[in-house]
């Protein structure tokens, strides 16, 4: 064995320097492949593939946008995705959790990475005026209603297919298993549980990491992310106030449940403003009040429906208690029977894994303009992607901007036009570069997890 000692430095130093240089080169090469800089070279290939496949991906987006389906009715939507994934070589199983699909692609020994998209649309009319705008109607709760993709799930699905295309084209560069799932009924928070109950993780294996993205009213090309809670937990609220029906001209002969419901909707907000820690997030919204049949009849009952959202379990429990007390107090004040109040447990907050976020953030900041990859506070909506997190899968849920940057800039000016947000009838993502951003970000996130 030869050593680089001082007694033999003159004779062997050139050799030792050569060994050290070779070792440093090897270490540098390994570090380059693992560091974000190596990912930047990966990003170039990803971008080329996205450009090549873009026309087909945008066609998928516009087709799905024009033909939306409601929760647990996404039969045709699921079939379209199943066909696309089979053409890419995935093994596809349909009907998981009723209309969900699972697409698996095994490529040697390595981690299993899950990518989730949603299938469902909303019971509302689209008013964007786009040439591919939805004109679909269906029966919803016994009434004919329009159906629209006003939350961005259509864009998520197209980006999901685009990501799969990209990863398949690069499969000589990674080892592991892709688990792409298309989940029904996200809008009703009732699609993830049926998939899990149908054996999602027992039949197909529990993933090592899971990713999901969501369209957001930011400038197209921007990416938002964070560690910890990123979406709120949500519970459903239902109540019925009982009164005494009478003629509209004789309110003294009635116990007016419309007045009770109105008083409750206003008074209950004191639970949020006075009983909850002001530094903790909590929102209670009554979105539906149903009662009566004619303007001159005081009804004998009124039904209310709403949602309770929070990030913290202590806040959640305190709001539940306060809402029940406020409803009972409202009825007591009117000398009415005690109301029926139901608080139906929903889903927990979506909580991102810090290690996955930190790694992915570094990768994305290298592949994108780093000023457009931003940390953002928790968003107030709820998503049952949380069910997969609660099942023990380290996960990352992130956001992509989908609005025209000019419109975003204009909205920030004094008197600027407000931006249409998710669930607005005017919510209209710009396909390019929104789709390209989503595909690139998700592809790199998955590749980072596969090659860590």
For residues 208 and 269, the answer to whether their CB atoms sit within 8 Å is no
For residues 246 and 279, the answer to whether their CB atoms sit within 8 Å is no
Protein fold of 233-347: Alpha-Beta Plaits (3.30.70)
Burial (CB count within 10 angstroms: exposed 0-12, middle 13-18, buried 19+), residue 78: buried
Q: What is the DSSP letter of 148?
A: B
The two three-digit tokens of residue 303, written as one number:
């039904």
Q: Do domains 35-232+349-450 and 233-347 have the same CATH topology?
A: no
191 vs 73: CA distance, rounded Å: 11
CA dihedral sign of residues 378, 383, 384, 385: negative
264 vs 258: CA distance, rounded Å: 10
Minimal CA–CA distance to 409: which of 219, 221, 276? 219
Protein fold of 35-232+349-450: Aminopeptidase (3.40.630)
Minimal CA–CA distance to 268: which of 335, 339, 337? 339
Q: What is the DSSP letter of 69?
A: -
Q: Is 191 helix (H, G, I), strand (E, B) or coil?
A: coil
168 vs 228: CA distance, rounded Å: 31
Cβ–Cβ contacts within 10 Å for residue 19, how many?
12
Q: Residues 59, 63, 65, 67: what is their CA dihedral angle, to the nearest 10 degrees?
A: 180
For residues 181 and 195, the answer to whether their CB atoms sit within 8 Å is yes
What distance lies between CA 271 and its chain's CA centroid? Answer: 28
For residues 113 and 209, the answer to whether their CB atoms sit within 8 Å is yes
List average pLDDT for each run of 10 residues in the chain, which is 452 residues long: 37 39 38 46 91 97 98 98 98 98 98 98 98 98 96 98 98 97 97 98 98 98 97 96 98 98 97 94 96 97 97 94 98 98 95 97 96 96 97 98 97 96 98 98 97 85
For residues 100 and 117, the answer to whether their CB atoms sit within 8 Å is no
Domain segments of the chain as ranges: 35-232+349-450, 233-347
Q: Is 89 helix (H, G, I), strand (E, B) or coil?
A: coil
pTM given for the model: 0.85
pLDDT on residue 40: 54
């Amino acid at each position: 064995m030869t050593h680089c000692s001082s007694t033999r430095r003159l004779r062997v130093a050139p050799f030792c320097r050569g060994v050290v240089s070779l070792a440093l080169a090897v270490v540098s090469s390994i570090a380059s492949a693992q560091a974000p800089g190596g990912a930047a070279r990966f990003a170039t290939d990803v971008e080329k593939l996205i450009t090549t496949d873009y026309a087909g991906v945008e066609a998928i987006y516009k087709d799905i946008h024009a033909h939306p389906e409601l929760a647990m009715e996404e039969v045709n939507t699921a079939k379209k995705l199943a066909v696309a994934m089979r053409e890419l070589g995935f093994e596809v199983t349909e009907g998981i959790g009723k209309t969900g699909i699972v697409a698996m692609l095994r490529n040697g020994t390595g981690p299993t990475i899950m990518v989730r998209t949603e299938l469902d649309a909303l019971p509302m009319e689209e008013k964007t005026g786009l040439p591919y705008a939805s004109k679909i109607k269906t029966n919803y709760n016994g009434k004919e209603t329009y159906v629209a993709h006003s939350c961005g799930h259509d864009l998520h699905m197209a980006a999901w297919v685009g990501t799969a295309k990209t990863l398949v084209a690069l499969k000589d560069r990674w080892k592991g298993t892709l688990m792409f799932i298309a989940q029904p009924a996200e809008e009703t928070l009732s699609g993830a549980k049926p998939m899990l109950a149908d054996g999602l993780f027992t039949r197909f294996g529990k993933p090592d990491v899971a990713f999901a993205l969501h369209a957001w009213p930011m400038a197209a090309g921007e990416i938002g992310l964070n560690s910890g809670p990123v979406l709120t937990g949500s519970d459903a609220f239902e109540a019925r106030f009982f009164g005494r029906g009478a003629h509209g001209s004789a309110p003294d002969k009635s116990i007016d449940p419309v007045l009770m419901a109105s008083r409750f909707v206003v008074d209950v907000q004191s639970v949020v403003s006075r009983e909850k820690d002001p530094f903790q997030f909590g929102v209670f919204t009554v979105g539906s009040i149903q009662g009566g049949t004619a303007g001159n009849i005081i009804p004998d009952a009124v039904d209310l429906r709403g949602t309770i959202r929070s990030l913290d379990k202590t806040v959640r429990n305190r709001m539940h208690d306060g809402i029940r007390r406020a409803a009972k107090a409202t009825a007591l004040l009117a000398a009415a029977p005690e109301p029926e109040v139901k608080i139906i447990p929903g889903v927990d907050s979506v909580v991102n894994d810090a290690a996955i976020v930190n790694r992915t953030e570094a990768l994305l900041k290298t592949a994108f303009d780093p000023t457009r990859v931003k940390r953002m506070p928790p968003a107030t909506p709820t998503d049952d992607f949380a069910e997969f997190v609660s099942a023990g899968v380290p996960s990352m849920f992130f956001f992509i901007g989908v609005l025209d940057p000019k419109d975003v800039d204009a909205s920030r000016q004094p008197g600027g036009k407000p931006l249409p947000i998710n669930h607005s009838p005017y919510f209209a993502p710009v396909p390019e570069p929104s789709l390209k951003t989503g595909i690139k970000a998700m592809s790199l996130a998955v590749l980072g997890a596969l090659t860590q």
